[in-house]
Structure 1
Amino acid sequence: MNRYLKLVNFELNRFRKIYVTLILLTLLSQIAAVLLLTKGYLNDAYETIKLENLTEKSYVLEYGGFDFTHITGSLLFLGPIALSAGALIFYIFLIWYRDWFGKNTFAYRLLMLPTSRVFVYLSKATAIFLMVLGLVAIQLMILPLENTIYEWMIPKTFLNYSMTIDSIINSNPLLRIIIPGTFSGFLINYGIGLMIMFILFAIILFERSYRIKGIIMGILYAAAVTAVFVTPLMAMGFEVIYLYPGELFGVLLILSILITGLTLWVSRWLIIKKITV
């Protein structure tokens, strides 16, 4: 276990600089969104009030007020979230391939360490999952700060309504995905995320084991397990079966556990039996 934790710490340190950059970019971009969009709305409002000789209340009645959803729907706010997600998806591939194609083919030394190869595999998966949870935690911490700045900047006359953190999250589809409001939602969203990560790991290991044939095998494997997972959703869409939300949750949870378990077994077999150094 101690060697496994050292490997996790090693993988986290390798991505540290990029990870800190993503955090700072998210913080700066989202605060800039709050400042610029709120200031822009107020400038436009006061200019219109002056030109049309309106009161603040009559302006709001005619043109509408402002709320935090105008900010969370902006590119400045959502862009860093999408960029961070893209960076972590890219890192799923980089975390393996840089060891093979980097200087002195580090993968050979890594796989010859006096520890189970499964620990090498799990350490990479754990590092990525911890980084995902870290970014989500950062987003949860800065949302109250951003909301406070917003409410401090805008006069109450122009404020549609004061939003809680829960209402801010629920008002935005992307935020609802990364910060589910229920424990079952967390299990489904992050269970599917883990399943996808392990499937991508399996595709990489198929390619490393069988090269060109491995790419085809990996894609076929991914297509097969994806088809199994989406079958209940497709059946409901075509009204072949009907499941209550709780039943659908149970079916998807069981399928994700089974597919993840199978993928872990396949990956374990590939990394132990088929990848040579």
Structure 2
Amino acid sequence: MNRFAKLVNFELSRFMKIYLVLVAMTVVVQVAGVIVKANKYMSKANTAIYEEMLSRAEFIERYGQMTFMDVTRSLWFMGPIAICTAALIFYVFMIWYRDWFGKNTFIYRLLMLPTARLNVYLSKLIAIFLMVLGLVSVQLIILPLENSVLKWLVPTDFRSDVTVSQIINGNPLSILVPQTFTEFVLYYGAGFMALTIAFTAILFERSFKWKGIIVGIGYVAISVVIFILPALSTLIVGRAYLYPLEIVGLEMVMGIIVTIMSIWVGNYLLNKKITV
């Protein structure tokens, strides 16, 4: 267990500089977005009131009050989230290929460590998963701060306050921040499963080279079909024999099966097909 923890810490430390840059970028750009959007709104209000001679009530009736939702729907807010998402998706592949294509083919040193090769697979998996949770946690921490900045810049008469919960539910953040434990298990369980599928597909390519690309794509397709089989069966039969909750339950079971299968196949490839 101690060796596994060291491997996870090692994987985290290798990406930490870039990870901290992503965190800093998210904070700076989103706070800047709040300031820019708030100042733009107040500039419009000042122009309408002092130059067009509208009253406050007439301006609000015409343009509406500003809410934090106006910020979350802008590129200032969603842009950093999209960049962080793209960076982590890229790192899902880079976390393996960097070890093969580095100066000293570092993967061989990793696989020769006095620990089960499965730990190498799982440490990379857990490292990516922890990074995702970390970025989501940072977003949750800075949301109240950004909301406070908006309240500081826009007077009460010109804004409509919303809670953090309303902010999350009003945009794609609702997927990243589930409101119930069941949603958390479904969303993050599906994400964890997707990681195991991607990792195993990468190991197919590393094991069989060009043929492995075809096998890896085939494995991804088979895994997806197995996962959506309960919902797919309803479409094939043409009738709904199962209740929605039963379908969700079966999807969870299939997800667990696919995840275990992917980890088992990945472990097999590491031990039997990738030689040092």
- Give the TM-score normalised by structure 2: 0.96
Give the whole-Å Cα distance in 1 for the aligned partners of 2:254 and 2:200. Answer: 17
Partner of 2:209: 211
- TM superposition shift of 1:46: 1.5
Aligned to 2:36: 36
**Other-structure match for 1:190:** 188
1:62 aligns with 2:62: yes
2:229 pairs with one of 228, 231, 236: 231
Question: 1:77 and 1:165 mapped to 2: Cα distance?
Answer: 15
Percent identical among aligned pairs is: 50
SS of the residue corresponding to residue 52 of structure 1 reads coil
Partner of 2:153: 153
* 1:194-242 deviation line (CA, Å, top 9, x unaligned): 1111111011100111111111001001001112222334455686326
- In structure 2, the residue matched to 1:46 is 46
Query: Where in structure 2 are the equivalents of 1:107-146 lying within 5 Å?
Result: 107-146=107-146
State whether residues 23 and 138 of structure 1, in contact with CA within 8 Å, keep that contact through their aligned partners in structure 2. Answer: yes
Q: Which amino acid aligns with 2:95?
A: I
Answer whether contact 1:100 1:107 (CA < 8 A) is retained: yes
> In the alignment, what sits opposite 2:219?
221
Match of 1:256 in 2: 255
Distance 1:232 1:87 in 2: 32
Deviation of 1:275 (Å): 0.6
The alignment status of 1:14 with 2:14, answered yes or no, reads yes
Report the CA distance between 1:104 and its aligned residue.
1.0
CA distance in 1, matches of 2:42, 2:123: 50
Cross-structure match for 2:105 = 105
Question: Structure 1 residues 176 and 52 mapped into 2: Cα distance closer, same or farther (>3 Å)?
Answer: same
- Report how many residues are paired: 275
Question: Which residue number in structure 2 is paired with residue 246 of structure 1?
Answer: 245
Structure 2 residue runs of 5 or longer lacking an equivalent are none
Q: 1:269 to 1:70 in 2, by over 3 A?
A: same
Q: Give the distance between the partners of 1:26 and 1:245, measured in 2 at CA.
A: 37
For 1:20 and 1:62, the matched residues in 2 are separated by 42
Shift in alpha-carbon separation, 1:69–1:233, aligned structure 2, 3 A = farther
How large is the RMSD of aligned CA atoms in angstroms? 1.4
CA distance in 1: counterparts of 2:96 and 2:265, whole angstroms: 17
TM-score by length of 1: 0.95
- Give the match's secondary structure for 1:107: helix
Counterparts in 2 of 1:242 and 1:137: CA distance versus 1, 3 Å: farther
1:45 Cα offset (Å): 1.7
Q: Tell whether the 8 Å contact from 1:188 to 1:252 is kept in structure 2 after alignment.
A: no
Q: 1: CA distance between counterparts of 2:272 and 2:66?
A: 60
- In structure 2, the CA distance between the partners of 1:150 and 1:97, relative to structure 1 (3 Å rule), is same
Q: Which runs of 5+ in 1 are unaligned?
A: none
Q: Distance in 2 between matches of 1:12 and 1:231?
A: 35
Matching residue of 2:81 = 81
Q: Distance in 2 between matches of 1:197 and 1:252?
A: 17
